Structures are given as C-alpha cells and as structure tokens.
Homo-oligomer: A and B are copies of this chain.
C-alpha cells in the first residue's frame, strides 16, 4: 500500500514585465516571502517570470541571456538571504548554453540552482515563434521534495501529445508542476481545464498549473491557474485577471519512484532535495474554486487589462482619445476609465463641418457620465486650409477631416504627454473602413480585435453592470442605438459603404478566424455577392492593417502580426468564384 505524503503548494499568479530583470526579481522575492509566510513548501512562478514573456528577439541577444542567468543566480542568493532558502522555488527564465537559447525553469533551493528544465515542445503558430528563439530540451529532472517526486514542465509541453508528460508518467512521478505564459483567447478556459486533466491522467499524478496574468504589448494573460487531481477532478482554481497566490495542501500517495536514464526520448534524472516526508500536519481549509468569468465580463476584463498594462508598462500616466459621439469611442473611453480612472482619461470632441449636433452632445454626455476630462477642438479651420489649397474632393476631402483629428490628438499627446488611443474596431480594420493617419492614429487600439457587433454587446453589458451596482451607466443610450456614421460627408452612414454589421461580422468570422474559403462560404449559405464584396474589402485592406497600432487580442487570430499575409498579394479568394 502506497504511503501518503503531504505538501503545501503555492502558485504565484503574477504580472511580470518583459525585460525588467530587476523588477521581476523583486516580485519573485516578495511573492516567495508570502508563500513562506503561508507555510508553503514549494512555490511556482510562471514561464519566463524572470525575463517576462514574450521576449522575442531579446532571446537571441547574448548579453540579455547572460543578464538573465546572472539575475537567476542573484535571485537564488537573495531568496536564501531573505529567509526563503528552505522553500523550493520554481522560476521560469531565459537560459543559454552551447546549443543556444532555452526557455527554462530553474529550481531554486538554499541559495542554489538545484535543477534546470528546458522546454521541450516549442509552439510556432498563431502568436508564437518559439522555433525562432529556443532550442528544445530533452532532459527531465525529477525532484524529490519531502518524499514527493515532482516533475516540472512548461506550457506547450502539455498542449502536444507525447513528450515530457508522457515520459514522466512512464518514469514515475507523484506531482507535476506546469509553469505557463498562456495568452488569453476567448473561451480558452473551456479548453484549459480538460487539457490539464488529461495530462494529469497521463502522468498518473496531480498537476498544478500556474499561469501569467497581465498584458504584454498585444497579448493578455488571464491567469486561470489551477490544480487538477489524477482522476481529472478540479482541486483549486484562481480568479482570472488578478494577481493571486494560491496556497493549497495536497496529500499524495507517493511511489518512491527510481527509474532514471532514457525514457521516451528524455534523459530522466532524479534530484533529492529532501527525502523525508513531512510529519503529518493540519492542512489549510480548501481554497474556494473560482469560476471562469461569463463571456462579456471576461472579454471586458481582458481589454481593460490589455489597456492598463500597455499604458503603464510603457511609462505613460494618461491617455487622450477622440470622442465622436459614436459607439466605438464611447466603449474605448469606458474601458480607459475602468483601466486608469477618469482623471487619467482626456476626451476630445473634434467637430468638422459635417458633424451632427448629436455627435457633440453624445460626446459631452459620455464625459459627464464617466467624469473624464473633456474639451472641444473643432477641426473646420484646418480642414478648410487643406481643402482649398490642394483642391481636395471626394475621398481626399473625407480623409483630411479624419487626419486633422489625428494631428490634433498627436499634438495634444506631444504637448501634454498622453498616449493616444485609436478607437477603431476589428470589423472596420478588416474591411479597411478607416483612414490611415486619421482615425487609425494612436499608440494603442484597445478594441482593434473586437468586431462591431461585440462592441455593441459590450456596451450593453457594461451599462447593465453599472445599473446592477447602482452606478451611472457610462455609455449614453443614444451612442448605442443610433445608426453608425463616420460623418465625413453630409448624411453619410456606415451602411452606405458596408453590409449590415450582423451579416458582415458573420462572414468575417468565417473567413478570417475560420479560414474558410469562398466556395465554403457560399455552401454555408451566404449570398455570393455579399461574400465577394466582403472578401474583396478584406483582401485589399492588408496595407492599412500593417500600419495599425497594436491592440489587445481577444481571439487567437487577431489582425496584425499574427495574421501574416503578404502586402502584395495577387491571389484574391473572391476571384475563385468570379
């Protein structure tokens, strides 16, 4: 009959910053101290916690890899000096050896690095380019901690069949720690739980999964750290989008495993940190199991996180954006208020000759409801000089209005140090319904990956939330209900140029996210003319997409850097049907 051993685990779901070796080291020390205060025996930090994730081409700079290794050694020393030498700390970092850069986990104990594991499966799809950066590892250290045999794996290692988890199952292990930097995508939490459960079964041991939280450039990490038992049962789960230390006791049957050497393509080594089981102790109460957030709240939280971290991690304190009275700028402003507070948000109404009365009153009403800073800066005079001097008509005249607004925002940014937010949504970006150097101006585009129909849903959800809490709904009802218009010529509405947004978003979702082709879309029941029209717009908008500012990704295949299409592209899907 197998013996049972206790162990107190701490999972540190923290928000690191790329490149900030000093700040991230401080953070590891601080959270390890908290873990020690909670009586934990093992604490795990996310993938690349020491360097931040993703480091992109910094991984290839020898000086950065050297700095990372030095910071790791210094961290081990600091932890011991801070009275945290007893705890086993698992910390992700960038390593580099003769073979090249490694995405690694270090095990720190009593002032030393007692083991290193190099990530085996390197993701190279979607937003990931890890084949570019890292050399895969095939060594598999297993640690004995208070009699419990603990394996360590990293993120993609559990998303691919075969590999280190299977090898751990064969070699024998009592617990698997998986450290992650797994970006948020919509409904990803539906996949993560079952995936971790399946791997736990494969390892024939519980799996503790700790994920990064916070945002880095366009990526958002939702946390969602959890522990699953070998039969797939959820033992603990942390709320999404917040830093949190999950401390929980496990009471495990231990196998006294001894297999070493070559297993399933890996070199298994066993490192004894502490052989003796702990004396039986009173476990902590079982921590509450957080539920994943409902869809709209989850997306809203991702957008708020993405915006807040982009602004702060890039050293800005405030943002400025144009308020047109429309739904996109209203939702962007509401997100900014939730991310930064109303005093850090500066809204500017910039009417031109063609602006409606409601464009001004709805913008003012939004400012009143949210308490943000507000000013009116008409662009009519500037537009007139350009139009008359250059003899502009048609599209050229329409665009110069949007561009004088962009110039106004950038001038206010330069004069007062605000980051400019672009307010474009994914639908208009996809079809090219925006003005480059105009409404596309900005350092960050919070709703760049939010389709128009979802913008409306989010607005309604946020207003309803406010009502639930007895607060003023931030978004004026009129901004939600009126027909969308760019107001760049008299009486213009979006549907002069675009199909109905419900239909448009349906086609875009199938074409872009679903990778479905022309014939496939027709078969799915869309009108051929509609499909042809939409695909033509998407295929021609690639050039604009390249110059669009970064924005929070809420799905995996966002526009921009991870839908990598050539600019020059003579292949048009819609031609297949014509």
Contacts and interface: CB of A to CB of B under 8 A. Distances in A.
Contacts of A463: none
Interface in A50-86: 51-52, 54-58, 60-64, 66-67
A61 B519 CA distance: 13
A390 B403 contact: no
Given A18-B566, A569-B18, A570-B313, A517 B217 contact: no
A422 to B, nearest CB: 11
Given A124-B124, A410-B437, A23 B386 contact: no
A389 B382 CA distance: 10
A18 B570 contact: yes
Interface in A279-335: 309-310, 313-314
B437 A415 contact: no
Contacts of A571: 18-21, 51, 58, 64, 67
B385 A411 contact: no
Contacts of A19: 566, 568-572
Nearest to A400: B411
A381 interface: yes
B570 A17 contact: yes
Interface in A359-391: 377, 381-382, 385-386, 389-391
A138 interface: no
Contact of A415 (B51, B390, B411, B565): B390
Contacts of A191: none
A129 B564 contact: yes
Contacts of A256: none
Interface stretch (A235-243, A467-475, A543-551): A543-551
B386 A407 contact: yes
B415 A392 contact: yes
A570 B20 contact: yes
Given A216-B568, A567-B550, A576-B67, A62 B23 contact: no
A319 to B, nearest CB: 14
A231 to B, nearest CB: 35
Contacts of A576: 63, 67
A274 interface: no
Given A216-B566, A550-B546, A63 B411 contact: no
B407 A437 contact: yes
A573 B407 contact: no
Nearest to A566: B18
Interface string A392-407: 1111100110011011
Interface string A505-517: 0000000000111
A570 B23 contact: yes
Interface in A190-225: 216-217
Contacts of A23: 570
Given A131-B131, A407-B403, A55 B566 contact: yes
A526 interface: no
B570 A56 contact: no
Nearest to A59: B564
A108 B532 CA distance: 34
A132 interface: yes
Nearest to A519: B63
A414 interface: yes
Contacts of A406: 437
A167 B129 CA distance: 30
A163 interface: no
Contacts of A563: 57
A273 interface: no
Interface of A: 17-21, 23, 51-52, 54-58, 60-64, 66-67, 124-125, 129, 131-132, 216-217, 309-310, 313-314, 377, 381-382, 385-386, 389-396, 399-400, 403-404, 406-408, 410-412, 414-415, 436-437, 441, 443, 515-520, 543, 546-547, 549-550, 561, 563-573, 576
10 contacts: A19-B568, A57-B564, A57-B565, A58-B569, A67-B571, A314-B543, A377-B390, A392-B414, A396-B415, A399-B410
Closest CB pairs A-B (n = 7): A63-B517, A19-B571, A20-B570, A396-B414, A396-B415, A19-B570, A313-B568
